[in-house]
Each structure stands twice: as C-alpha cells, then as structure tokens.
Chains A and B, each alone.
Chain A
Amino acid sequence: MKKKDTNVAAMCGPQIGEGGKTGDWRSLRPVISHERCIPFQKKKSACFLCWLYCPEGVVKAGLPIEINLEYCKGCGICAEECPPKAILMVREDKS
C-alpha cells in the first residue's frame, strides 16, 4: 500500500524527475561532436555556454560534456549558443 497524498494543494519536493520524464516531449535531439567542442579539445573547463544556457539544467559541464536525454526537451538553445556549432539538432524520427 502506497502512502496517500495528504497535501491540500498540489505540490512535490524539488527532486529530479518530479515533473515526469520530460525527455519524451522531444522531437529534436541534440547530438554532440566532441571533436568540435572547445572544452573537450582544450582538455580544460572553458566555454560551457550549453551548460549555462540550458533552461532545464540537463547539461553536465564535464570533459566531455553530457546531456541527460531522459529530461532534455529538445529546445535547441544549446545548439544555438554553441560557438563552434558542436551541437546539432537531429530529428528523432530520422535518427
């Protein structure tokens, strides 16, 4: 028996996944070409504009950078902001 929802109004704790798996909203998927990515090429923390601009916080600023596709909604802001155009938005149904 699961615990019942006793909240008077709708609410949830701010944990990852509380909004549901939003990745399946996506129609365009970000595909990263690491050979073009500035931090990956320079092997040091640099640029990370994709991480900074991502409205969903699904970009991990590492070497290499990673995008959590379970929650990425495919808005394409990372691709738009990336100076060397290392991120390409690819149609989910064509990939």
Chain B
Amino acid sequence: MSRVQIMTGNQAAAIGAVLSGVQVVAAYPITPQSQLAEIMSQNVESGKLHAEYVRVESEHSAMTVCISASTVGARVFTATSANGLLYMHEQLHWAAGSRLPIVMCCVNRGVGAPWTIFNDQQDSLAQRDTGWIQIYCRNNQEILDSVIQAYRIAETVYVPVMVCYDGFVLSHTMMPVEVPDADKVRAFLPPYVPHTVLSPENPKNLNPVLFPWKREDTEGVLCDGYMEMRCKLQTALDRSREVIAGTSRSFADVFGRDHGGVLWEYRTDDAEIMLVGMGSLASEATMAADLLRSEGIRAGVVGIRAFRPFPKEDIRRALQKAKGILIFEKSISYGFEGGLCSEIKAVMYATGKRAPIYNFIAGLGGRDVKSGELAEAAKSSLAELEAGKPERPTEWVNCG
C-alpha cells in the first residue's frame, strides 16, 4: 500500500534507493548529502535492505567501488555533493565509458573556495561532459520517484544517471511524499541485467588500451577503436531522451505521477515571456510567473529536468512562441555566462527565430532566492525585450 509521509529530500532519496533494491552502497559523507548516506547505512545495518554497505576513505573510492560492483552485476547506489563530486570526476568518466548503470544522487552544493556548505548547482554542472545522464528534481516527491526511474533508464541504455537535487532547499526541507508500494516498484523495475556478465567461465579483459585505429582481435573480430567506443556512448545518450520520456510515462501509468520526462512546463500555453531553470529554482520561478501574470505579463516556466541528454527538440517546441526567454541558473561558466543559457541559445539557433535570450545568475552559495526577486529581475529586462535587444549582460540577481 502506498502511503504519504512527511520527509526530507534526503529521506525521499534513501527510500527510492531502498525500494529499488540496491545491492551495494558505497558513499563518503559530505554535507548536505550526509543524512542520505546515514539512512542507507542504517537500512543495511538493520537488515531492512539486503545490501553491502562499503565504507570508503574518499569519494573517488566510493565511485570505484560502485564501478566494480556494477561490473559484476550488482545494482549500486551512491551519493555525494560539491567537492566530493569533484573528487570523483575521473571515476565519473570511467563509469560512463564502461557503460555501467550506476545511480548517484548529487545533493547540489556550491563549490569551494571559498568554503560554502550551501546550495547552488556548480558541482553537477561542472560534470556536464562526463557522459552521465543528469536529472534535476524540483521537490521531494520527484526525488523519490526519480531515483526509481533512474535505475530503469540507466539499465535500459547502460549509461549512469545522476539524480540532482538542491542541498538544504530540498535535502533538509520536509514535504509530504507518497511512498510507492514495494511490489509495484519491483514490477516497474526488473532485475539488473549487465551488458556483459563477468565470470570465470567467460573471462574478459575490460577496458583495455584502445588505439586510434580499429584492430582485429585474436578471434578475428574487427574491434572498435577509442573513437567508435566514444561514438557509441553519444548514441546511447541520444537514445536516452526517449527512454527518459517513456520511463516517465510508464511511471505515471503505474503510480499516477508524471514529473515531465525531459522537461516540464507551467502556464506556457499563451506565455510570451518564458522563465527557464532547473531544480528548485525553476519551481520558485512558477511563483514568479504567477506574480508576473497578476501584473498582466504573460509569463510561463520551462523546467529542464534532463540537462544531459539535453532535450533540444522539446526545448525548441516549448520555447518556439516565446517573445523573450529568461534563463535563471545557480551556476556559471566563468569567463562567459550561465551554461544553461549558452545551451538554450545553441538549441534555438536552428529554429531561425531570434527571440532575445537573457541570463540571470541567482542563489549562488545558498543565497535565498525569492519568487518576488525573480519576478523583479524578469521585469527589469522587459524594456530591452520590447526593444528586441538580442543581448544583455548576464545579471547577478540580488548580488552586491
């Protein structure tokens, strides 16, 4: 029987992982992820979860354990934040390159220096090119459901999935969350079948040195070179867009909740001004849109749920009628602008339409972002939008 409980985002993530029947957990505690690692450890210790909890000395080792366990056929889970995620960076590439369906929660936190324990999304955005799927959640229900969905997505396309949610804003905030029925989750999520079963009967040399050229192996098979293997990873991520959307629909059929596949929209039908964001910031933007509409400005919100694979067709469809596109983000590519803004500009280029796209950086290092501030920031750019000014300097909301 499903039931509603009041819980934090970390608790929701842990319940999602437990319901997914993970068999190996390896995590190193870091704020604001710590509570999630603790709950997973308690579940293993109490016998509620039949899994191995591997205590490690670093995040790099945590991901290494996940890679090893996933290689021999275990469903694995880990979680981290900020500098811990950065410490994993090399192994993130290794996990994706090995095509292992690892699921990891990234509890988004700003990156030091200077030290912060508070929320922004610089940590996971900096992992953009590791080959991982990235899903951003806007509330605790979505966190729980996304962890379950993440295993189905990962194990379908053999690409690891990062489920990202904002530190403290979601991780430590309590919300009502419906906990799905365990039998239904088991039916939704069939057992993990590795792409290659490693056993003494079928010995393999995994990830050997690949050369710039193709090479014939001793069995006469023309083996792919490094470039072909990387192309396969790109193909898998391209394919994963439809898998993410399909998994979201199947999940809705069983559990009655659809979080929107690769993106979600709010009051976009007749919207002229589109606010775009990811995670809790996009959720906050829905209230900003309501405020703007109360003043007669037809605003809507497009929340990017999958940042990788980037949902280019869906974004074009959602934004094609916009007169102005305002991108709000909790990270920046230093020396240029917000990464999400650049990518949306890139996606819209092919449409031939030239609605102005403006960029707003907000809430770095946990600075509170109020819906009123987002609405004010949007209004401050309206005159330039009306004038059709194609570019505007990146605005730092509520800074300085």
Q: Which of B196, B205, B210, B220 contacts A8 (CB 8 A)?
A: B196
In the bound complex, residues from chain B placing their C-beta under 8 Å from that of A95 are: none
Task: Indicate whether B195 reaches chain A with its CB closer than 8 angstroms.
Answer: yes
In the bound complex, residues from chain A placing their C-beta under 8 Å from that of B210 are: 10
Tell me whether A13 and B217 are in contact (CB under 8 A).
Answer: yes
Q: Which of A2, A7, A11, A16 contacts B218 (CB 8 A)?
A: A16
> What's the Cα separation between A4 and B223 when bound, in Å?
7
**Whole-angstrom distance between the Cβ of A24 and the nearest chain B Cβ:** 13
Of B7-15, B224-232, B246-254, B344-352, the one with at least 4 CB within 8 A of chain A: B224-232
In the bound complex, residues from chain A placing their C-beta under 8 Å from that of B209 are: 19-20
> What's the Cα separation between A8 and B210 when bound, in Å?
14
> What's the Cα separation between A81 and B357 when bound, in Å?
68
In the bound complex, residues from chain B placing their C-beta under 8 Å from that of A35 are: none
Q: Given A18-B205, A20-B215, A3–B158 Cβ distance below 8 Å?
A: no
Tell me whether B217 and A9 are in contact (CB under 8 A).
Answer: no
Tell me whether A3 and B221 are in contact (CB under 8 A).
Answer: yes
In the bound complex, residues from chain B placing their C-beta under 8 Å from that of A17 are: 218
> What's the Cα separation between A29 and B191 when bound, in Å?
52
Which residue from chain A places its CB closest to the CB of B210 in the assembled complex? A10
The B91-147 residues at the A interface (CB cut-off 8 A) are 97-99
Tell me whether B97 and A2 are in contact (CB under 8 A).
Answer: no
In the bound complex, residues from chain A placing their C-beta under 8 Å from that of B195 are: 7-9
In the bound complex, residues from chain A placing their C-beta under 8 Å from that of B217 are: 12-13, 15, 18
> What's the Cα separation between A3 and B210 when bound, in Å?
18
By the criterion of a CB under 8 Å from any partner CB, how many residues of chain B are at the interface? 30
Task: Indicate whether B383 reaches chain A with its CB closer than 8 angstroms.
Answer: no
Residues 211-223 of chain B, each 1 if its beta carbon lies under 8 Å from chain A, else 0: 1001111111111
**Whole-angstrom distance between the Cβ of B282 and the nearest chain A Cβ:** 33
Which residue from chain A places its CB closest to the CB of B158 in the assembled complex? A8
**Whole-angstrom distance between the Cβ of B131 and the nearest chain A Cβ:** 12
**Whole-angstrom distance between the Cβ of A17 and the nearest chain B Cβ:** 6
Residues 222-266 of chain B, each 1 if its beta carbon lies under 8 Å from chain A, else 0: 111010110010000000000000000000000000000000000
**Whole-angstrom distance between the Cβ of A42 and the nearest chain B Cβ:** 37
Which residue from chain B places its CB closest to the CB of A4 in the assembled complex? B222
Tell me whether A20 and B221 are in contact (CB under 8 A).
Answer: no
Tell me whether A9 and B99 are in contact (CB under 8 A).
Answer: yes
> What's the Cα separation between A1 and B374 when bound, in Å?
61
In the bound complex, residues from chain A placing their C-beta under 8 Å from that of B205 are: 11-14, 18-19
Task: Indicate whether A93 reaches chain B with its CB closer than 8 angstroms.
Answer: no
> What's the Cα separation between A8 and B208 when bound, in Å?
14
> What's the Cα separation between A18 and B210 when bound, in Å?
10
Task: Indicate whether B367 reaches chain A with its CB closer than 8 angstroms.
Answer: no
In the bound complex, residues from chain B placing their C-beta under 8 Å from that of A10 are: 97, 206-208, 210, 223-224, 226, 229
Chain B residues engaging chain A, CB cutoff 8 angstroms: 97-99, 158, 195-196, 203-211, 214-224, 226, 228-229, 232
Chain A residues engaging chain B, CB cutoff 8 angstroms: 2-5, 7-20
Given contacts A2-B222, A11-B206, A19-B208, 10 further A-B contacts (CB under 8 A): A2-B216, A3-B220, A7-B224, A8-B158, A10-B229, A12-B205, A13-B204, A14-B203, A17-B218, A19-B205
**18 chain-A/chain-B pairs, Cβ below 8 angstroms:** A3-B220, A4-B221, A7-B223, A8-B196, A9-B98, A9-B195, A9-B206, A10-B206, A11-B196, A11-B208, A13-B205, A13-B217, A14-B203, A15-B218, A17-B218, A18-B208, A19-B205, A20-B211
